[in-house]
Amino acid sequence: MSNLEICDALFADRPKLQIKANSLIPKMAKQFKKERKFPAWKWAEYTHQQSHNRYLICFYAATPAQADRPDINFLAFMEEDRQRIVIQWGCWLYRKHGSLDNIATRYIGYFSGHFFSRYRERIWKNVDMSFNELLCRYFSRNVATIPLELNEDIQRNYKEYGELAKYAFQVPDGTCFIRHWNEGDETTVGQKDSDFISVVLYYTFVNGGMMTETQNKAILKEGTRYIRDYYKSLFEDVMKETFFRRLNTQKQEPIIEQNPMPQMISMEECEQIGCRTEDKVFDNIVNKLNQRHQSATALSYFDQLSIDLTQAEEIMQDSFPEAYAEIQNLMHEEYRALDELEQHCLFIYLFTNDKDENEIVDSMSWHFEEWMEDRGYDFLSNAKANTKLTN
């Protein structure tokens, strides 16, 4: 079978896979509720009755609250030269030149046994787990993927491996070195009978600790370049849509000279607005918390909470769940109060995966917690310095 035929066969099995996964959720939920440590993973192997294709259905719960609604992932297995190959399949977004529309195209990824051997020894060396659990962990932890165009600083001899080896993928756990190529007629993308497909062979995995400082800096630089280019294209698309929407409105309504069309802002200005917007949200949350809670010390409620957070052993969600929940609610409230420009610029500034309220609030929450810890450490450092001066 061709890569296109394999991918289409896996897509054809997807409805039955989903039905099977849904039927397993109550059973998995019971198992999750017995767990003492989170995040947690469960799984089930499944053979499709008609196609006889073999699958792994992965269930992932990040917290106990997610036990009844775990994330679900589907992987396929195939045998080649007596070795098990793991297959991931789905869609990638493709954009034709000059178009604002993203079109879904087929994608299929093959993971070698060598890849997961390296992933196990480089991330989970001293952890005893089955191969299926290893797969569940990898695919739940490494959803976010940043393409890297290789250069001599990232991999010195990458050109020796040919044209297929000029890219890599950066994921949260490390870097995936791959072979990538496209098959089919690219001009048919978007058509019902398109035969275009992207194919990736995941060759090996390397974590950041194995790389030199030069390599890690080069990966960070290349990843940042890709993200900025990606968000710049999103930013330009939104501005174009706004521009054409305004033009269409002007065709229907008389032009009022006293209220001219506002000028488009640059990417840099957008990021600055996003930064100022986040600062405004943080200040409003601090003020509201201090108004709601009276402090028994010379410090405000928020400053005391910041100091307590620096001395806690766990993240805020685990150390101070009630305060964390209150801050989350306030952050949602503040985000909804922003105007459209502030929300968009905040999205650009935070580099979130999607312009979605939950995505943006989650990203701001991490910034907010880091800001609290910095604030707490500053208070403690100043207190020590004042004590030395007094003595």
pLDDT tens by residue, 78-119: 988 778 899 999 988 776 655 556 688 899 999 999 999 999
DSSP 264-330: PPPHHHHHHHHHHHHHHHHHHHHHHHHHHS--SSSS-HHHHHHHHHHH-SS-HHHH-HHHHHHHHHH
Residues 191 and 313 in one domain: no
Report residue 79 as tokens: 């045998």
Q: How many CB atoms lie within 10 A of CB 176?
A: 25
Residues 82 and 137 in one domain: yes
H helices of 34-142, in order, are: 113-123, 131-141
Kindly state whether residue 249 falls inside one of the protein's structural domains. no
Residues 270 and 215 in one domain: no
Higher pLDDT, 381 or 124: 124
Residues 144 and 16 in one domain: yes
Kindly state whether residue 158 falls inside one of the protein's structural domains. yes
pLDDT at residue 53 in the model: 96
Q: Using one digit for the tens of pLDDT, what is the confidence trace for 183-217?
A: 999 888 888 889 999 999 999 999 988 999 999 89
Residues 269 and 174 in one domain: no
Domain holding 52, by residue range, is 3-219
Kindly state whether residue 135 falls inside one of the protein's structural domains. yes
Kindly state whether residue 366 falls inside one of the protein's structural domains. yes
Residues 57 and 112 in one domain: yes
Q: Using one digit for the tens of pLDDT, what is the confidence trace for 311-357?
A: 887 888 888 999 999 999 999 999 999 988 788 888 878 877 667 88
pTM of the model: 0.64
Q: Are strands 102-111 and 197-206 parallel, antiparallel or unpaired?
A: parallel
Residues 196 and 312 in one domain: no
Residues 209 and 342 in one domain: no
Kindly state whether residue 253 falls inside one of the protein's structural domains. no
* Gap between the Cα atoms of 120 and 100, Å rounded: 41
Cβ atoms of 262 and 341 within 8 Å: the answer is no
Q: How many domains does the chain have?
A: 2
* Beta strand residue intervals within 96-235, DSSP E: 102-111, 146-149, 167-171, 174-183, 197-206
Kindly state whether residue 241 falls inside one of the protein's structural domains. no
Residues 103 and 20 in one domain: yes
Residues 308 and 191 in one domain: no
Of 189, 219, 249, the domain-final residue: 219
Q: Is 237 exposed, middle or buried (0-12, 13-18, 19+ CB in 10 A)?
A: middle
